[in-house]
Chain A
């Protein structure tokens, strides 16, 4: 088992003919993901390396029966792409695009709340169920099927965590990059709820960073409802106040969103916090061994 995506997931690429769209559609297909179609307005009827291209998501949905879509279109068009996917009834929308205006995301998120679609991202690496389905830009080979779930606001730091796990022989059920923007479709709590219900997931690594209060809210949720061990890491312990650290959402503002606050909240909820990013894998290993 896994969450959200598996070997039966049928994936569409919005923006399949752009450089990024081409590169990653190819890589995901090679990984074994069922890449069933692409959407590029005006290029309907053509194909990308045998993958049919459609003018609209609605047409693609009808023809291919896709139930997930990945968006690589430029920031100015990303919100429209997300809305189009939701309007076409696509169950899972993954937006990789970095730099989407925040007011666009506020509207998209409000619109999606009234639909059956789930959004992951934007500004995220995507989602992978190792050995079955990879949607996004993460390097596939560092992953290994197993029973640890991973949820993270970061891209490369997630790869780091996954790599450490795999090196120690610990595989993953599903790894979700939820994105580094202030407003994202799927939050830490949303992902944790899914992992909670997944019998195959035995433990979870949660990677957060400075900015906002998503980790504090997740800590409260874990304390009350989460049935499995969680190992957490918060990036930005040395970040100064009031400065944006690369990610649009990684900023300590009004004295809120510090790593210290988040770590304190996580510890108070009984969560094991790795203080060094080099100890993510080994901390999970000892937690799993302690459990057995």
Chain B
């Protein structure tokens, strides 16, 4: 789960990290009031969307009067902002953040993430702040510093100093940096974060180290112990079909093709998408109904697939383990009766209770093509839609 910049800054501040003072606003008048309340000669107004590249896209501006803040907020709010991360349709701006301006002397990069290879949380740091860090990593990997933190020991003082010196920090900045790093590590652990990114971390003209931008993502599997973090979810930033799928505990990802896929198990679901492509068509989605799916869940999945108007055909691929083929068949039959099935349907079933499942489908009167194996299923659905 992702959250907005201002929310991430509020969390990090709670853990003791230095962030600029700011207030969020949902209307131009609120934004102007936030400027006045900050009581500073200058402020930065930043569009709040779950995507990077806001500055270059015109979503961030340094302003000096309340009326300019109001005008700029009016320009942003209620309109989509297109950045290199949003896609051409952009993301609707519903909130802006009004923040005290900082006099920046140096821009650094500081990140913290789950390092799969190290089996630890790792700190990623670079002197190349304010840039696309993936680009820095690709072009100048020597400018990226990685430090894994032993989970049983925690962040050691020497590690913080080592990174601080590598970033060229000196004097009091080293201590300030170590405090920020410690705050980030505690925040990471205590909120079940999966990523914290401070890009840029800045040194101000008067020598202070502060988090000028902040991005936080969380491990969905850890959210059950953080009701406060769960409340920060912004449904406006999520695909409605994926939100709907989550209600039924279905794992769904929207794609651009026209063959709807329903599969049990994530690996098999990906493999099914792949084989559709191998036979010359494009999958419309990833959909894993899970291991213990019941009739209701299968029916919900089927509704979800058919709600996508681009879907020209549906491919169901189930390898029954825990999930029984007869349960699947029943769900498909029920759903197909509720919604008028007007696209071709190919079903491939194997595994537990496959004979019963095939019989339920055959007896139902639903127009479904039965496939003998995965290749046969892909071949048939592609042929049915005439791709």
Binding site for B on A (CB under 8 A): 20, 23, 75-76, 99-104, 106-107, 109-111, 125, 137-139, 142, 152-160, 163, 180, 182-183, 207, 209-214, 217, 233, 235-240, 243-250, 254-255, 259, 275-279
Assembled-state Cα–Cα distance A180/B119 (Å): 15
Residues of A within 8 A of B321 (CB): 125, 137-139, 155-156, 159
Asked if residues B192 and A246 are in contact (CB atoms below 8 Å), the reply is: no
One digit per residue, 1 when the CB lies within 8 angstroms of any chain A CB and 0 when it does not, for chain B 210-225 equals 0000000001111011
- Selected from A20, A183, A245, A276, the residue in CB contact (under 8 A) with B116 is A183
Within the complex, what minimum Cβ distance (angstroms) separates A52 from chain B? 26
Assembled-state Cα–Cα distance A236/B56 (Å): 32
- Selected from A75, A155, A157, A250, the residue in CB contact (under 8 A) with B221 is A75
Given the interface contacts A125-B321, A139-B351, A240-B253, does A106 sit within 8 Å of B266 by beta carbon?
no
**B101-115 at interface with A (beta carbon < 8 Å):** 114
Given the interface contacts A138-B321, A237-B274, does A245 sit within 8 Å of B192 by beta carbon?
no
13 contacting pairs across A/B (C-beta < 8 A):
A101-B192, A102-B192, A111-B152, A138-B321, A139-B352, A154-B271, A163-B351, A183-B119, A214-B116, A238-B274, A255-B138, A278-B375, A279-B375
Within the complex, what minimum Cβ distance (angstroms) separates B275 from chain A? 6
Assembled-state Cα–Cα distance A156/B120 (Å): 29
Residues of B within 8 A of A211 (CB): 116
Q: Which of B19-27, B172-180, B283-291 contacts A (4 or more CB under 8 A)?
A: B283-291
Within the complex, what minimum Cβ distance (angstroms) separates A191 from chain B? 16
Within the complex, what minimum Cβ distance (angstroms) separates A119 from chain B? 12
Within the complex, what minimum Cβ distance (angstroms) separates A130 from chain B? 15
Asked if residues A210 and B270 are in contact (CB atoms below 8 Å), the reply is: yes
Asked if residues A163 and B350 are in contact (CB atoms below 8 Å), the reply is: yes
Interface size for chain B: under 10, 10 to 19, 20 to 34, or 35 or more residues?
A: 35 or more
Residues of A within 8 A of B340 (CB): none
Q: Which partner residue on chain B sits nearest A122 by CB separation? A: B221
Given the interface contacts A155-B265, A246-B251, does A106 sit within 8 Å of B121 by beta carbon?
yes
Q: Does residue B267 face the partner (Cβ distance < 8 Å to A)? A: yes
Residues of B within 8 A of A138 (CB): 321
Within the complex, what minimum Cβ distance (angstroms) separates A265 from chain B? 14
Asked if residues A101 and B267 are in contact (CB atoms below 8 Å), the reply is: no
Within the complex, what minimum Cβ distance (angstroms) separates B358 from chain A? 16
Asked if residues B137 and A254 are in contact (CB atoms below 8 Å), the reply is: yes
Within the complex, what minimum Cβ distance (angstroms) separates A156 from chain B? 3
Assembled-state Cα–Cα distance A212/B320 (Å): 28
Q: Does residue B373 face the partner (Cβ distance < 8 Å to A)? A: yes
Q: Does residue B264 face the partner (Cβ distance < 8 Å to A)? A: yes
Within the complex, what minimum Cβ distance (angstroms) separates B224 from chain A? 6
Assembled-state Cα–Cα distance A210/B263 (Å): 17
Residues of A within 8 A of B278 (CB): 275-276
Within the complex, what minimum Cβ distance (angstroms) separates B51 from chain A? 11
Q: Which partner residue on chain A sits nearest B288 by CB separation? A: A246
Assembled-state Cα–Cα distance A211/B116 (Å): 10
Assembled-state Cα–Cα distance A237/B270 (Å): 8
One digit per residue, 1 when the CB lies within 8 angstroms of any chain A CB and 0 when it does not, for chain B 330-355 equals 00000000000000000000111000
Residues of A within 8 A of B378 (CB): 278
Asked if residues B266 and A247 are in contact (CB atoms below 8 Å), the reply is: yes
Asked if residues B277 and A238 are in contact (CB atoms below 8 Å), the reply is: yes
Assembled-state Cα–Cα distance A99/B290 (Å): 12
Q: Does residue B273 face the partner (Cβ distance < 8 Å to A)? A: yes
Given the interface contacts A157-B265, A207-B267, does A102 sit within 8 Å of B273 by beta carbon?
no
Q: Does residue B43 face the partner (Cβ distance < 8 Å to A)? A: no
Residues of B within 8 A of A157 (CB): 265, 267-268, 270-271
Q: Which partner residue on chain A sits nearest B263 by CB separation? A: A156
Q: Does residue B201 face the partner (Cβ distance < 8 Å to A)? A: no
Assembled-state Cα–Cα distance A213/B272 (Å): 22
Asked if residues A152 and B267 are in contact (CB atoms below 8 Å), the reply is: yes
Interface core residue of B271, B274, B319, B352 (most chain A CB under 10 Å): B271
- Selected from B134, B221, B264, B276, the residue in CB contact (under 8 A) with A102 is B221
Residues of A within 8 A of B269 (CB): 245-246
Assembled-state Cα–Cα distance A49/B375 (Å): 43
Residues of B within 8 A of A159 (CB): 319, 321, 351
Residues of A within 8 A of B350 (CB): 160, 163
Besides the known contacts A107-B151, A158-B267, A209-B270, 8 further A-B residue pairs in the complex with CB atoms under 8 A apart = A103-B114, A110-B119, A155-B268, A156-B319, A238-B273, A238-B277, A246-B270, A247-B266
Assembled-state Cα–Cα distance A20/B322 (Å): 10
Q: Does residue B150 face the partner (Cβ distance < 8 Å to A)? A: yes
Q: Does residue B374 face the partner (Cβ distance < 8 Å to A)? A: yes
Q: Which partner residue on chain B sits nearest A157 by CB separation? A: B267
Q: Which partner residue on chain B sits nearest A233 by CB separation? A: B271
Residues of A within 8 A of B241 (CB): none
Residues of A within 8 A of B264 (CB): 156
Residues of B within 8 A of A249 (CB): 116
Q: Which partner residue on chain B sits nearest A106 by CB separation? A: B151
Assembled-state Cα–Cα distance A278/B278 (Å): 11
Residues of A within 8 A of B220 (CB): 248
Assembled-state Cα–Cα distance A249/B219 (Å): 11
Assembled-state Cα–Cα distance A278/B268 (Å): 11
- Selected from B134, B265, B275, B351, the residue in CB contact (under 8 A) with A255 is B134
- Selected from A76, A106, A276, A279, the residue in CB contact (under 8 A) with B119 is A106
